[in-house]
Amino acid sequence: MKLPEEFLERMGSLMEMEEYNDFLKSYSFPRHYGLRVNSLKCDIGKFKKIAPFNIKPINWTSDGFYYPEGVNPGKHPYYYAGIYYIQEPSAMFPAEVFDAKPGEKVLDLCAAPGGKTVKIAASMKGKGLLVSNDISSSRVKALVKNIELYGIKNAVVTIENPQRLAANFNLYFDRILVDAPCSGEGMFRKDDASIKSWQKFKCEKCTSMQKGILDSAHRMLKPGGSLLYSTCTFAPEENEIQIKNFLENYRCYELQKILAVNGIEEGRPKWCDGYEDIKKTVRLWPHRLDGEGHFTALLRKKGTISNSSLSYEDSLKAPDALKGFCLDNLNMDIPDGIIQKGSSIYGLPLKLPSMDGLKVAKFGWYLGEIKSKRFEPSHAMVMALDKKDIVNTIDFSSDSKEIARYLKGETIILDKEYDKGLYAICVDGYTVGWSKVERRMLKNLYPKGWRKMN
C-alpha cells in the first residue's frame, strides 16, 4: 500500500519514532472484518448459537463480532433477514458510547449509509423518535434501505443541510450523534479508495464543514442533552483541536469521560495546546487494537433535560383498508400514529414538529399503499414484524434451495398445499418478505431492487 507522502510526513512529525514505526507496520497487517447483531430481531445469545460462520467478540461493543477473512456474510440469508449489519469493528464504537435510550428523541445528523442509525434504533427498542439525516440524496437511498432491512419502526429520514434542519428542531433532541464527514485517514488500510478521496478532501476542507455541523447540532440539542462527535481520521485539526475550539465557543458544554480500555487510548493534549481535559476523548489506532482509526468525544450540554410527551396526539384515523388488512393478516393491533402522504401510509409513535420546508425521504415505518380502496403492504412492513405477528407464514431453513430461490425472486413450487392468501416468508423463523400462495404455487413478492444476484 502506497500512502501519501504528505500524510506520512505529518504523522511522523506528530508521533515519537517508536510509535510511528509501529503505526507504519500496521499497514502491512491484514484488516479486520466485523458485524453487529441487530438486537431488534435477534438476541445476542441466540445469534452465538445460530451464527453460520466462526465469530469472535469485539471487546468494545456489546453486540459486535469479528468474522474471518474470506467469509461473505452479505450473501447469507440471515443478512437478508436483517439479523446483522456488516461494519468495520472500530466504527462500532461511537454508537456504543452514545448509548441511546428507549423513549428519547434522537438525531443521527450525518447518518448514511446507516450503521450507527441501526445501532441507535436497537438501543431505543422502537420507543421514542429517531431522526436520521444526510445531506446526500444518493446516500440516503442506502440509509432508507437499511432502516427497512433492519426493521426500524420509529425513524424519520431527512435529506437536509444541518442549518435548515436546525430551524425546525430548535432545542428538540435529547441526544445528537455527529459522525462527521472527514478526511478519512483512519480507513486507508480498509479501503484504497479512501486514499484517492483524501487527495481531494484533506483536513483543511473538512474542519470548517465540521464546525458548521457542530454549530447546528448545538442549536438542536436540549439543555442536559448529550452530543457525540466522531471521525475516522487521525488529523488533530479534525479531532482534539475541533473539540477544544467547540468548547471554547460554547461554554455550556462539558466533556464526559470515555473509558480508554481494551487498547483504546485517550485523546492527546499535546496536539491541542496542552488542553488536559481532552484526555476524556478517545482514539482507536490500528497499531494498538484490531480495528481501524477512529476518534470519539462525548459532550453534555449543561442544564436539566425536560421531558416532553411521547404520545401521538394528532394521529389520523387508520384507513378502513388498513384496518381490514390488519384484521385479516396480522395477530396485532394497528400501529400507533398513522401518517398518510398521498397514497402512502406510515406509522410513527410520536408527534413530529413542523416539517415544512424540509426534504423528507421517510415519515416513519412505511406500512404500504392505498390503491383503489385496497391496502398493499410494503416490504418494510413485513421486515419489522415478528413471525408471531403474522397469521400466515412459510418458514424455510437457511440452507434450503427454497430460500435461495425466494431471495432471487423466483416462483417456487411448494412441497404441500396451502390455503390461498398472503404469506410472510421466513428463514429459520425470521421474516424476509411477502408472497402470495395458491395451493402449491408461491408467487414471489420479494422486491426487485433487493434480490440476491448470485
344-367 confidence digits (pLDDT tens): 999 998 888 889 999 999 999 999
Whichever domain contains 403, its CATH number is 2.30.130.60
Q: Which helix (H) or strand (E) holds 8?
A: helix 5-14
- Domains contained in the chain, number: 2
pLDDT for the residue 196? 81
Which of the residue ranges 208-217, 232-241, 328-337 would you say has the lowest mean pLDDT?
328-337
Looking at per-residue pLDDT, the higher value among 192 and 30 belongs to: 30
Q: Give CA–CA dist 301/261, Å, rounded.
A: 25
Q: Which helix (H) or strand (E) holds 432?
A: strand 430-444
Same domain, 287 and 166: yes
**Segment 58-87 mean pLDDT:** 97
> Of 301, 332, 364, which residue constitutes the final position of a domain?
301
pLDDT for the residue 218? 98
pLDDT for the residue 223? 97
Q: Specify whether the CB–CB gap between 20 and 11 falls below 8 A.
A: yes
> Is residue 243 helix, strand or coil?
helix
For residue 25, pLDDT over 60 is answered with: yes
pLDDT for the residue 364? 95
Q: Specify whether the CB–CB gap between 430 and 403 falls below 8 A.
A: no
Which residues, 6 or more positions from 59, have their beta carbon under 8 angstroms from its beta carbon? 262
For residue 451, pLDDT over 90 is answered with: yes
> Of 301, 325, 351, which residue constitutes the final position of a domain?
301
pLDDT for the residue 354? 87
pLDDT digits (tens, 9 = 90+) for 385-400: 999 999 999 999 999 9
Which residues, 6 or more positions from 380, have their beta carbon under 8 angstroms from its beta carbon? 147, 148, 365, 366, 367
Q: Give CA–CA dist 188/195, Å, rounded.
A: 6
**Where does the pLDDT of residue 52 fall: very low under 50, low under 70, confident under 90, or very high at 90 and above?**
very high
For residue 202, pLDDT over 80 is answered with: no
Domain with 412 in it = 386-454
Same domain, 264 and 407: no
Biggest distance spanned by C-alpha atoms of the chain = 74
**Where does the pLDDT of residue 454 fall: very low under 50, low under 70, confident under 90, or very high at 90 and above?**
confident
**Is 323 inside any structural domain?**
no
**Is 210 inside any structural domain?**
yes
Same domain, 60 and 195: yes
**Residue that the C-alpha cell 416532553 belongs to:** 308
pLDDT digits (tens, 9 = 90+) for 260-311: 999 999 999 999 999 999 999 999 999 999 999 999 999 999 998 776 544 4
Same domain, 158 and 55: yes
**Is 338 inside any structural domain?**
no
pLDDT for the residue 193? 82
113 to each of 109, 147, 175, how far by Cα in Å? 12, 9, 19
pLDDT for the residue 352? 86
pLDDT for the residue 91? 97
**Segment 75-83 mean pLDDT:** 98
**Is 375 inside any structural domain?**
no
Write down how long the chain is: 454
Instruction: For the sheet with 412-427, list strands across it.
Output: 393-396, 412-427, 430-444
Q: Give CA–CA dist 139/159, Å, rounded.
A: 9
Pairing status of strand 173-179 against strand 155-158: unpaired
Same domain, 81 and 230: yes
Which of the residue ranges 46-55, 147-156, 187-196, 443-452 would you say has the lowest mean pLDDT?
187-196
pLDDT for the residue 315? 56
Same domain, 406 and 291: no
Same domain, 151 and 254: yes
Same domain, 199 and 52: yes
CB burial string 322-342: b at 16+ within 10 A, e below = beebbeebbeeebbbbbbbee
Same domain, 278 and 178: yes
> Of 301, 320, 335, which residue constitutes the final position of a domain?
301
The residue among 148, 169, 60 whose CA lies nearest residue 106 is 169
Q: What is the pTM of this model?
A: 0.96
pLDDT digits (tens, 9 = 90+) for 420-431: 999 999 999 999
**Where does the pLDDT of residue 313 fall: very low under 50, low under 70, confident under 90, or very high at 90 and above?**
very low
| Single-letter amino acid code for the residue at 10 | R
Whichever domain contains 188, its CATH number is 3.40.50.150
Same domain, 140 and 26: yes
**Is 104 inside any structural domain?**
yes
Query: How many other CB atoms are there within 10 angstroms of residue 205's CB atom?
Result: 11
**Is 320 inside any structural domain?**
no
Residues designated as active site: 232
Q: What is the DSSP string of 284-340?
A: E-TTTSSS--EEEEEEEESS-PPP---S-TTPBPPPHHHHHHHHHHBSSPPPSSEEE
Q: Give CA–CA dist 342/389, Å, rounded.
A: 27
Same domain, 398 and 281: no
Q: Give CA–CA dist 130/146, Å, rounded.
A: 14
Which of the residue ranges 295-309, 326-340, 373-387 would you say has the lowest mean pLDDT?
295-309
Same domain, 393 and 286: no
pLDDT for the residue 312? 47
